[in-house]
């Protein structure tokens, strides 16, 4: 069985960290392609060292600059990007099979929608995405063939 390629949006939050714990126990099934966080440089750096993603995004540009310097100084070849546009590009990347959408609040809406429009399998931990744009999200999923799977008990009640 081929390993699933994952993009974790919100990797430094509690759901992202829990997901990485599961991935670490199943390296034969999952590969971390990309990680995204807002500004927790130290934790994202640790995750990069542990999971060796190809690309990471930090929404905060100053945090991204600090992370880039740390990675370069450590000899890591990960591509460090910044900004919300980069989040959407990460989520829609051809090299990603599955996207964990765990960015809190409205900040998670555009990258989640980008993943859905790209036909990804989306593990939805951000209820705001459905609350703010439920019809748009579901319509995009029907058009692209994306699968939206809730990973939170509140979401399971909806589905």
Could you write out the DSSP letters of every residue in the chain? -PPEEEEEETTTSHHHHHHHHHHHH-TTTEEEEEEEESS-HHHHHHHHHHH--SEEEESSHHHHHHHHHHHHHTT---EEEESHHHHHHHHH-TT-SEEEE---GGGGHHHHHHHHHTT-EEEE--HHHHHHHHHHHHHHHHHHT-EEEE-SHHHHHH-
The predicted structure's pLDDT at residue 107:
82
**How many domains does the structure of the chain reveal?**
1
Flag whether the pTM goes above 0.85.
Answer: yes
The residue range of the domain holding 18 is: 4-158
- 142's CB contacts (< 8 A; 6+ apart) are none
Dump pLDDT digits (tens) for 103-138.
887 788 899 999 999 999 999 997 777 777 778 889
Dump pLDDT digits (tens) for 90-107.
999 999 999 999 988 778
pLDDT exceeds cutoff 60 at 147: yes
Contact between residue 127 and residue 104 where contact means Cβ atoms under 8 Å apart:
no
- Residue 53 sits in a domain whose CATH number is 3.40.50.720
């Amino acid at each position: 069985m081929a390993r699933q390629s994952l993009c974790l949006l919100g990797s430094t939050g509690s759901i992202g960290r829990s997901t990485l714990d599961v991935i670490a126990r199943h390296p034969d099934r999952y590969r971390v392609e990309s990680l995204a966080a807002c500004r927790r440089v130290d934790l994202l750096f640790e995750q990069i060292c542990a999971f060796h993603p190809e690309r990471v995004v930090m929404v905060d540009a100053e945090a991204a600059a600090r992370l880039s310097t740390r990675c370069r100084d450590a000899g890591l070849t990960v591509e460090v990007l910044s900004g919300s546009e980069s989040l959407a590009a990460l989520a829609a990347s051809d090299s990603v099979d599955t996207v964990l959408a765990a960015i809190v609040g409205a900040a998670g809406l555009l990258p989640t929608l980008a993943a859905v429009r790209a036909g990804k399998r989306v593990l939805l931990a951000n209820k705001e995405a459905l609350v703010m744009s439920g019809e748009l999200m579901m319509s995009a999923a029907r058009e692209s063939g994306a699968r939206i799977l809730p990973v939170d008990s509140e979401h399971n009640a909806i589905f």
